Structure 1
Amino acid sequence: MVSWSARVCGCRFWSLSILGVVLVTCCNVLLTIRMLQNSPDCETRVLPAMLAPPPGPPGAKPRPSVPPVSNASEDGPVKEEFSVNLQLGRWDARRLYKMFDWTSVGAKYVELSQRFCVCLATQSSLDRLFSLAQVAHQWAGPISVALFIASPDELKIAKVYVKFIRNCYPTVRDRVSFHVAIPKEHPSFTSEARMSAGLENEKLDCSKPEASLRLLMRHRRPEAARWRVKLPYPQNHMRNLARRNCQTGHVFVTDVDIVPSGQLAEKLDAFLRKQRCSVDGHCAFVIPTYELDERVRFPQNKSELVRLAKKGLARPFHQKVFIYNQFATNFTKWQMEPEINQEVHVSHNVTNFEFLYEPFYVAPDTVPAHDERFIGYGYTRNTQVYETFVAGFQFRVLSPIFTVHWGLQNKKSRPGWRERQNSLNRRNFEIFKREVFARYQKDPLRMLNPRVKHTPINTP
């Protein structure tokens, strides 16, 4: 039998234990409430890095991988977003486009430009800007973005979307600086665009950058949405704008939908700091670019990419659309080289250079600029690559790094405005190739020989 005193002591001990639990619980509740009150954003979400494309109904295109997102930065919502003073800016050489530098500066852009020796210079029209979320997630170095704004409607949308994407993606907020170009042919930029009042009240989802941009783009007036028919996209102006605002000794000029492989900036930086080019310092390092089926995960390394290529789920960029675009890279040789280690190295030299070759490559910032007489489509990127080749740069293919473009592309009919732009640029090329010869006194591809037939430009 348990004594009466023992029972009393037991009851008192049990009561004290319960009281202690209640006190601890109350303290936790009070602390939680206080933390929520002091939090800049209670709805912060973080998604797993590089999510696999979600399953969908048969035949439906799944979303590509999505980088981590959050609705606020650690220091609270972004304060400085996107500023364009239309009374300032600078004109291009022919006063066709007005440029605005540093409309938005990455919080760590200066620091990253001092830490890395290579900068990613990319360009985009507003409707493709959603790709920047994944690019910034993959590239840890500084990113200089040239953004083309075609109308006052797009300028208002850009202000909302840049604020959104910088708020949602810390990598964009920290690494990316924006620069803007607008066309002279739209003087109405000086007046306020009359758009629906609901633009800034749209409910945008941080996990869906593409869908959010499309939601905003619906606010454009019909005439503003048809700008491509009459107004050519100044690709070379945009490439130069992005590159000239890089602060590093090397530049990697790309399009906004070209996504780098994992740790590309870090690996390139290590390689460039120790590499020694044997041709008087004139080397251009080609990064192989592949198209990737949207149903698969983003490849984590070269071995995964090669495995996908053997299954037909990845292939060289523009292989089916315009094979000359990347053919000289020699993807077969690149894929056959075993992936012994992860350090960046030269796989092989480009030995069959041809005029239509237009790889994405890293080079010193001393390479020739993109010729801005070529506006729109046709003869834009390949002319710059050709002049770089004539200037004496040796193109060398790097491994095991790569870049990816989402979606397997196929030939399709081109709109009439694309062919008109191509025809105009073809005329400019006749003058361009003579100027290149006069500048370098070299014609390695015999471009000036009328008997040599060159495949006509038919780029996508």
Structure 2
Amino acid sequence: TCPLPCRGAAVGAAQIILHQPLWLLLQVVGGRALLLPPCLTLSPAPQLPDRSALESRVREVEEENRQIRLQLGQSQASAQLPADGTYGGQQWGASADTGPEEGTLRPRTRFHLKCNRVCSCLQVIHVACVCAGHNASRDVVTLVKSVLFHRRNPLHFHFITDSVAHQILSALFQSWMVPSVQVSFYDAEQLKSEVSWIPNKHYSGIYGLMKLTLTKALPADLSQVIVLDTDITFATDIAELWGIFRKFTDKQVIGLVENQSDWYLGNLWKNHKPWPALGRGFNTGVILLYLERLRRMRWETMWRLTAERELMSMLSTSLADQDIFNAFIKQNPVLVHQLPCFWNVQLSDHTRSEQCYTEVSDLKVIHWNSPKKLRVKNKHVEFFRNLYLTFLEYDGNLLRRELFGCPSPNSPQSIQLQSALEQLDEDDQCYDFRRERLTVHRVHLYFLQYEYLQADDTDITLVAQLSMDRLQMLEAICKHWEGPISLALYMSDAEAQQFLRYAQASEVLKNRKNVGYHIVYREGQFYPVNLLRNVALRNAPTPYVFLTDVDFLPMYGLYDYLRRSVVQLDMANSKKALVVPAFETLRYRLSFPKSKAELLSMLDMGTLYTFRYHVWPKGHAPTNYAKWRTATTPYRVEWEADFEPYVVVRKDCPEYDQRFVGFGWNKVAHVMELDAQEYELMVLPNAFMIHMPHAPSFDISKFRSSPSYRHCLSTLKDEFHQDMSRKYGSAALKYLTAHRSI
């Protein structure tokens, strides 16, 4: 057995293969190089390296990599690895699943590889975070990215969450599918009573006190854990921090970095009276907790007695758990292990953080512990901001890489995926289409703050999907539809941050809390339109959904009209799909009609048209626009081939078929299945929506220009018909007959 961190020439060199060192990552955002080489001194001001020198160094590293791969390939060939992927009698799953019960810790495992040259002790590192709400859930992703980027060990994240963060993070990790990462969740609601009696003035509220409860919250057999705030960025391998546990004396139970502000010195302003602390006190953004020892010394009783004693004079905490930790340490200084300050470089105003480092290579952990976050005052703040932005916008798909020397068994989900991939024929002309259907996209639900209270049993959510090029439609839709909205946005990590800034700057969007924005991260070469629709549909909170596209504007008042129609047509007790007639304009500036009469007038004048009448009349012809002009009551229409109306249905309707990606037949297949399940198609006489003009999408351009694309779409149609026949039997014959007669 070799101790962590592993030493030795082979392993030290192998680190280059595992990931690029942070100082070699030159990512450009807004024309700026984000990261600098470690030899560069930060004081007085950072300078960019000579490009030719850096290129020369990169070539040297590449040659070193080649030589090391040869050596490691030889040593791995002689390594004796179990064929079943088990180590130490336990199996490690690359899963966000928590086991038989949520919050149950699987047995901790130490992995050992026997080889001649490489010593790699892959111990599981446990990390705990308290995370509550939409904003903290978004912040913790950047922390996790920075940890994953540098790590060479299996990780087990322990999240103490409210229901919001639990929903978001569990969906994210399940879809992220990072190898050798396990995630467990613990209900913060069950811990509130432990700390709710403590008055706290800090902006973190009750969740800022929950780190005090970790000995109770985390599994009883968990001995050690690294505890992190969500506003932390790692600049090194977290295994280095984990290794400090070995430096604890027999009596030490808590590892902390000294506070870098003057807060606990009590001299920030007149009559400033902080909680008692040892010297400058300690910051609790990064904590090493020796849980086993804390439990033996009855930590829960000791911190509670400390808090009760100090609250008699202090009345409330100002810095949440940090005040209580410091008061406890003041009385028991022998229990603390002081960490070097580069393990928690604190970027709040009025700190001494500059004294923690002289070179880039000194930096280990950056802590944005100011309410102002990235707007903090620091002479190197631009450098630190760029370091943070690197991980904020880093493509999370790249972090799905397997651990070097850690061939862990896969989760049932990844095994099933691998089996499905192996069944595909790579020589198939339509392989790319079939491969796309199996792509697992990362999903971040409720990317922005979301609040919704159901109006009643008739409430309806507008469901749509979009990418970056349709972002400008959001404000207009919010003005036309006052009800809840569920949107799936197909974006890269960097685009998601652009969207965040756009939404926060928009008076319309930031005042609408009943819009659920669900980011589906971009991967692959096709636009996964039906996957996106399904993500938005599944996360609609209402009994009914209005299935539309983001480039349509609903008529004013449509939300209330549809809710009344739900009642009038008794949709709660019948299978109906309410058709909202679709129109279009070729004008980018349109005086939107305020009534059906005004729309008919514009239709007669040629300002408006029935949707796609000139390029795809089959798509909406069954709506029977001639009848709609004079209709005063809903009327039923029959399904016809290629019919693709926009409809209101119960949320439990069939989902969209995800084999259809890019352009073509994605809505047609869905309406066909509604008909197969005997939904009545009812056209609403006083409802309408208008398609706004925009440039053609990339996928429709591919459809028009590529015979191969059109061939594969036709193949997928045939296969869909075959599946319909198997699913619905003789009732599906009419769809196949209609398809062949076209």
TM-score between the two structures when normalised by the length of structure 1: 0.63
SS in 2 for 1:385: helix
Once the two structures are superposed, residues 287-319 of structure 1 have per-residue CA deviations (whole angstroms, 9 ceiling, x without a partner) of 001102445410001000001001111111111
Q: Give the Å deviation of 1:447.
A: 3.5
Deviation at 1:177, TM superposition (A): 1.2
Q: 1:389 aligns with which of 656, 675, 678?
A: 675
Counterpart in 2 of 1:287? 580
Determine which of 441, 450, 455 is the counterpart of 2:729. Answer: 441
Report the Cα offset of residue 435 of structure 1: 1.4
User: Out of 456, 463, 482, which is 1:140 matched to?
Assistant: 482
CA deviations over 1:402-455 (Å, ceiling 9, x no partner)? 111124999x99633664444323222222112112222244563445x96343
Per-residue displacement from partner, 1:118-160 (whole Å, max 9, x unpaired)? 11111101110110111111111100111000x3432331221
Q: 1:80 to 1:301 in 2, by over 3 A?
A: farther
Instruction: Tell me whether 1:258 sits opposite 2:552 in the alignment.
Output: yes
Q: CA 1:113/1:434 → structure 2, altered by over 3 Å: closer, same or farther?
A: farther
Contact preservation (8 Å) 1:112, 1:141? no
Cα distance in 1 for partners of 2:567, 2:461 equals: 14
CA distance in 1, matches of 2:695, 2:601: 19
Deviations 1:249-272 (A, max 9, x none): 111111111111111111111221
1:401 aligns with 2:695: no
Confirm or deny: 8 A CA contact 1:122 1:254 kept in the other structure. Answer: yes
Q: Is the 8 A contact 2:636 2:682 kept in 1?
A: yes
Check 1:140–1:115 CA distance in 2 against 1; reply closer, same or farther (3 A cut).
farther
Aligned mates of 1:115, 1:97 — CA distance in 2: 33
- The verdict on how the C-alpha distance between 1:317 and 1:83 changes in structure 2, with shifts beyond 3 A counting, is farther
Q: Is the 8 A contact 2:622 2:640 kept in 1?
A: yes
Q: Percent identity among equivalent residues? A: 25
Matched, 1:129 2:416: no
Residue 233 of structure 1 and its aligned partner are, at CA, apart by: 0.9
Deviations 1:52-82 (A, max 9, x none): xxxxxxxxxxxxxxxxxxxxxxxxxxx9599
Change (3 A) 1:102 1:296: closer
Report the CA distance between 1:170 and its aligned residue.
Answer: 5.4
Contact 1:378 1:421 in 2 (8 A): no
* Cross-structure match for 1:83: 138
Q: Does 1:105 align with 2:449?
A: yes
**Distance in 2 between the 1:170 and 1:448 partners?**
45
How far, CA to CA, are the matches of 2:629 and 2:501 in structure 1?
Answer: 43
2:629 maps to a residue whose letter is Q
For the residue of structure 1 that corresponds to 2:655, the secondary structure is coil
Q: Report the counterpart of residue 711 of structure 2 in structure 1.
A: 423
- Look up the match of 2:666: 380
Matches for 1:205-216 after TM superposition, within 5 Å: none
Q: CA deviation at 1:359?
A: 0.4
Q: C-alpha root-mean-square deviation of aligned residues, in Å?
A: 3.1
Q: 2 CA distance for matches of 1:304 and 1:333?
A: 17
User: Is the Cα contact below 8 Å between 2:478 and 2:509 reproduced in 1?
Assistant: no
Distance 1:172 1:325 in 2: 36
Aligned pairs (5 A) from 1:31-430: 83=138, 85=141, 88=169, 89=172, 90-91=174-175, 94-107=438-451, 110-112=452-454, 117-149=459-491, 151-165=492-506, 168-169=507-508, 173-185=512-524, 231-276=525-570, 281-292=574-585, 293-337=587-631, 345-346=633-634, 348-351=635-638, 353-407=639-693, 415-416=701-702, 419=706, 420-430=708-718
* CA distance in 1: counterparts of 2:531 and 2:467, whole angstroms: 12
Alpha-carbon distance between aligned partners in 2 of 1:413 and 1:375, rounded to the nearest angstrom? 9
Q: Which amino acid aligns with 1:173?
A: R
Q: What's the counterpart of residue 282 of structure 2?
A: none
Provide closer, same or farther for how the CA distance between residues 171 and 355 of structure 1 changes in structure 2, counting only shifts above 3 A: farther
Counterpart of 2:537, as a letter, is R
In structure 2, give the amino acid aligned to 1:316: T
Letter of the 1:131 counterpart: M
Give the whole-Å Cα distance in 2 for the aligned partners of 1:234 and 1:270.
33
Q: Deviations over 1:10-34 (max 9, x none)?
A: xxxxxxxxxxxxxxxxxxxxxxxxx
Structure 2: which amino acid aligns with 1:315?
Y
Residue 399 of structure 1 aligns to a residue whose secondary structure is coil
Asked if 1 retains the 8 angstrom alpha-carbon contact of 2:458 and 2:567, the reply is no
- CA separation in 2, counterparts of 1:378 and 1:172? 36
Letter in 2 for 1:136: C
Tell me, in whole angstroms, the C-alpha distance in 1 between the residues paired with 2:532 and 2:444.
11
Deviation at 1:97, TM superposition (A): 1.6
Structure 2 CA distance for aligned equivalents of residues 106 and 453 of structure 1: 47
TM-score, length of structure 2 as denominator length? 0.40
- Distance apart, 1:95 and its partner CA: 3.7
Q: Indicate if the aligned counterparts of 1:358 and 1:382 stay in contact, CA closer than 8 A.
A: yes
Counterparts in 2 of 1:2-17, with a 5 A limit? none
Q: Within 1, Cα distance between the matches of 2:503 and 2:509?
A: 12
The structure with the larger Rg is 2
SS in 2 for 1:134: helix
Pairs aligned (count)? 317
Give the direction of change, closer, same or farther, for the CA distance of 1:413–1:444 in structure 2 (3 Å limit): closer
Distance across 2 between alignment mates of 1:250 and 1:103: 23
Secondary structure of 2:469 counterpart: helix
SS at match of 2:446: strand
Question: Which amino acid in the other structure matches residue 574 of structure 2?
Answer: G
1:67 is matched with: none
Contact 1:119 1:252 (C-alpha < 8 Å) held by counterparts: yes
The 1:318/1:81 distance shift into structure 2, 3 A limit, reads: farther
Rounded Cα–Cα distance in structure 2 between residues aligned with 1:314 and 1:245: 34
Letter in 1 for 2:499: A
**2: CA distance between counterparts of 1:82 and 1:271?**
38
CA apart distance, 1:334: 0.4
Structure 1: gaps spanning 5 or more residues: 1-78, 186-230, 339-344, 456-460
**Distance 1:159-1:314 versus aligned 2 partners, 3 A rule:** same
Instruction: Give 1:156's aligned amino acid.
Output: Q
Question: Is contact 2:504–2:510 with CA below 8 Å preserved after alignment?
Answer: no
Helix, strand or coil at the partner of 1:354: coil
SS in 1 for 2:516: strand
Residues of 2 paired with 1:119 and 1:414: CA distance? 28
Q: Secondary structure at the match of 1:83?
A: helix
Q: Deviation at 1:329?
A: 0.4
Report if the CA contact (8 A) 1:240-1:370 is conserved: yes
* Residue identity matched to 1:246: A
Asked if 2 retains the 8 angstrom alpha-carbon contact of 1:122 and 1:145, the reply is: yes
Question: Residues 128 and 138 from structure 1, CA distance in 2 versus in 1: closer, same or farther, beyond 3 angstroms?
Answer: same
Contact kept, 8 Å, 1:113 with 1:119, in 2: the verdict is: no
> Is the Cα–Cα contact under 8 Å of residues 286 and 359 in structure 1 kept in the other structure?
yes
